[in-house]
Amino acid sequence: MIDLSKDIHSLTDFKRNTTEFLKHIKVTKHPLVLTVNGKAELVVQDAESYQALVDAAELLETLKGIKLGLEQMKQGKGKNAEEFFSELFDRLDSSK
C-alpha cells in the first residue's frame, strides 16, 4: 500500500538520500513512487515485496483460468475426464 503523505518523492530526493529511503522501504515494505518534473515515473520496492506481488499476480491468472474453464464447462465446451485422459494417453502412445 502506498501512503500518499510518505511514499511519493522526487527522484532528486531519492538520489540525495538513497540510504535513508532504502531503510524506510525495508522497514515499511511500502513501495516508493519517484517523480520527475512532478509526474510519477518510477516505483521502487524491496525484493521480498516485489516477489509477493508477482506471486499474487500469478495466482490471479491461475484463478482466472480456472474460472474460464468452469464457464466453458457450463456451456458444454469441455470434455469429461475419461475422454480427455483417453485422448492424452493415445497421443502419448503414438509419439513413442
DSSP 79: -
CA distance 60 to 35: 29
Tens of pLDDT, residues 39-92: 999 999 999 999 999 999 999 999 999 999 999 989 988 888 898 899 999 999
CA distance 32 to 5: 11
Give the pLDDT of residue 44.
Answer: 96
The pLDDT value recorded for residue 31 is 94
Prediction pTM value: 0.68
Q: What pLDDT, on the 0 to 100 scale, is given for residue 4?
A: 67
Q: Which three cell numbers stand for residue 11?
A: 527522484
Could you tell me the three cell numbers for 21?
A: 529511503
Residues in the chain: 96
**Confidence (pLDDT) at 3:** 73
Residue 40, pLDDT score: 94
